[in-house]
Every structure is written in structure tokens, then in C-alpha cells.
Amino acid sequence: MAALSKQTIRDLDVRGRQVLVRVDFNVPMKAGSIADDTRIRAAVPTIEALRHAGARVVLMSHLGRPDGKVVDALRLAPIAAHLADLIGVPVAAVPDCIGSAARAAVKGLHDGDVCLLENVRFHAGEEANEPGFVAELAALGDVFVNDAFGTAHRAHASTEGVGHLLPAVAGLLMEREIGIMGTALADPARPFVAVVGGKKVSDKIGVLRNLIGRADHILIGGAMANTFLQAQGHAMGASYVEGSAVSTAAEILDAASQAGTRLELPSDLVIAPRLEVDAPAMIVGVDAIPADQMALDIGPDSVSRYGAVLREAGTVIWNGPMGVFEVAPFAAGTTGIARAVAECAGTTIVGGGDSVAALEATGLADRITHVSTGGGASLEFLEGKVLPGVAVLRDRH
């Protein structure tokens, strides 16, 4: 998708209008407090731009998985209070997202005011994209702004349905997400390097196939590397191997070779007899894994090789950790890749929840061009799939 293929809030006159904005405030909560406000802060530029343009801003989001029932622990009032602190104006927490309470709250807004509707997933009609629920949400706005890239891969009422009933445009965060990632796929500065990790090849088949022929290098890590190594004939000991995907891995290796994309695998691994913080870990070559040991991270030689490629890249996309980074002895591979990506002078994009968490843990996030707020959405975008929450937005003519 081209960077400017969709209309944005810059294309609308919103003064005095009720602007229904889908944001992604699905943030981690601990004991009723917000544990990480990254997604809330990411929405602030759009909210502020609409406020200053005189819009009456009506925010809607989900939180957690209440499955169509009211769950008090998943109410959005704490998020409304936190957002108010961030933007310096009151944010009314509306006790429902439809019905008389929602209509009254929206009717009471003045130009520049902001309210946050209650968790849309308290109603089963949200995930079902039920027409009656869609119509009730749409009645609260004159226009629809989707700024929730993280949920754009879901055809839900608040992400896609309302876009068929109201003029629909992208918010600033959505514009940035689809612009930067779209350009990286369609017209990247080269060399274009993709780092793909995680557990299962099957989870990343679409991404890998879409990157073959586009990327100059694909660097593989995580447990999925075990499956590729087995496909090459290496004995992987007690390592996790996705048996049903070994033949697929072989096909991907062959396709990359034919397309001129260098698909690179680890040369050494960190192994241990069990996945525990006190397990005796050691580094071995990929052809020297004992039968009772499992590979849990890429080794230092692999980090060095991958790092050399990354530092020279014109564009980097990273999705998926290199090992079990949550357990200290097996975090060095992911940390090393994070440092190498941060040292790259080109355009760097990190997506996927685990990759972003690992990056945040290193304190290097501010050195990355773009850290995507979308986990599943960024993955599907990299696969080349059409995202319903993006497709519904007005095209730029």
C-alpha cells in the first residue's frame, strides 16, 4: 500500500463535528493501573490535532477479551484519567459505548472536548460486526477516523463496520504505520534486510514468502531456525522442531535461493538441557548439538554475522525474537540483534509484540525509525494481506 493512498484527518474540516475515533488502548493493566502506556501516547498526536481543529472527539477502544460481557476490571475509566493527564484537558469516561448514556455524553460535547466510550467488547456485536451495533456506534459520529493499526486486521464493528456508514479516513498513527511499512515493502532503500524470528515456521510462512524476492537478506532466528536447520540435515537434539513444517522450510530455502534472496541461518546456538534460568548453558556449532540438549538462542558468531549485515542495511524490518529472551541465559541473541538494528543508519522498523518488548527492555526503542503498535496487524501487513480496517478508509484520488 502506497504511503499516501488513503485520506487522512488532514483532508477533513472537522470543526464543530463529532469525530468518532477508533484508538487502540488495549494496554497491559496490573491491579487496575496501566503497566505500559505506549499505545495511549501513540494516539495523542491524532487526538490533539482533532482537538485543535475544533472537533468534538469521541474515542472508542477495546481492552482485553471480555467476550461480550461487562467485566469491571476491563473498564476504560483509568485510561480516560491517564489520557487526561497526557493531554492536559478532561476526558469524560462514558459508562457505555452505545445507548442513552453514550448519546447524552456525545451531545454534551463542545468543540475541542474529548470523551472515551466504554469498552466496545462489552457488547457481542463488536466482534460479530453486527449491523445494529454498527449503526448505534455510527450514530455517535459525523465522520470516522481509524487510528488503531493494531486492530486493523480485524473486521469488527468499531474498526471496519462504521467505516461503511460514515466518511472514513486514517489518523496520524495509522498514516505513519501504513506509510512507513508500505514504503519498506514497495520501494525500500537497499540493502533491504528482514529479521524473522519466533517459534513456528507456520506462523511466518506468509511473511517469508512475501519477503522472498523483495528482501536482499532474510536472517532467521528463534525456534523456527531449528526447523530450517533440520531441513538442511542438521540433528537438532531435544530442540523444538515443527515437524509438520520441515518440508515447507526446505521449500522456502529453495525459493529464496532461486529468487536471489540470501536466507541466512544461525551458525552457532546456545543450548541447555532444559529451559530454566539456572540450566547449564553452552555454545555449540549447529552440527554439534547433543541428543539431550535443546537450542534456545542464536550464538555469538551468528549475532556477529547478522549484525554485520544489519549495520550496512538501507532498510530493516524485524519481527520475532532470536531466542527465549524472557529467560536471562537465552536473551543475548535478541539483545545483540536489537543493538545492531539500533546502530543501522537506514530505515529501521520493528513489529510484533515480542520484538517490541525485547527492544524496550534494551532501552534502544528511541533509536528505531518506527516501532509498530500492531502485533498481528503488522504481521498480516508484512504478509501482503489486505487489512479490513485500512481497506474501508477513503482512497486518495
Q: Which of 54, 112, 376, 384 is catalytic?
A: 376
Q: Count the residues in the chain.
A: 397
Q: Active site includes 69? A: no
Q: Which of 41, 64, 112, 200 is catalytic?
A: 200
With vertex at residue 139, the alpha carbon angle to CA 135 and CA 141, rounded to the nearest 5 degrees, is 125
Q: Is residue 326 helix, strand or coil?
A: coil
- Rounded CA-CA distance 134/61 in Å is 14
Q: Active site includes 376? A: yes
Phi, psi (degrees; rounded to nearest 5) at 396: -85, 125
User: Measured between alpha carbons, how far is residue 236 from residues 96, 286, 293, 295 in Å?
Assistant: 53, 8, 8, 8
Residue that has been written with the C-alpha cell 548453558 in this structure: 281
Q: What is the largest CA-CA distance in the chain?
A: 70
Query: CB-based contacts of 314: which residues, under 8 Å, 6+ apart?
Result: 188, 189, 190, 191, 192, 346, 347
Closest CA to 348 of 310, 382, 305: 310
The strand pair at 217-220 and 168-170 is best described as unpaired
- Rounded CA-CA distance 138/164 in Å is 9
Q: Is residue 118 helix, strand or coil?
A: coil
- Rounded CA-CA distance 1/265 in Å is 30
Residue that has been written with the C-alpha cell 448505534 in this structure: 136
The strand pair at 29-30 and 33-34 is best described as antiparallel
Angle between helices 201-211 and 224-231 (to 10 degrees): 70
Q: Which of 6, 17, 39, 176 is catalytic?
A: 39
Q: Which of 353, 375, 384, 394 is catalytic?
A: 353
Return the active site residues: 39, 200, 353, 376
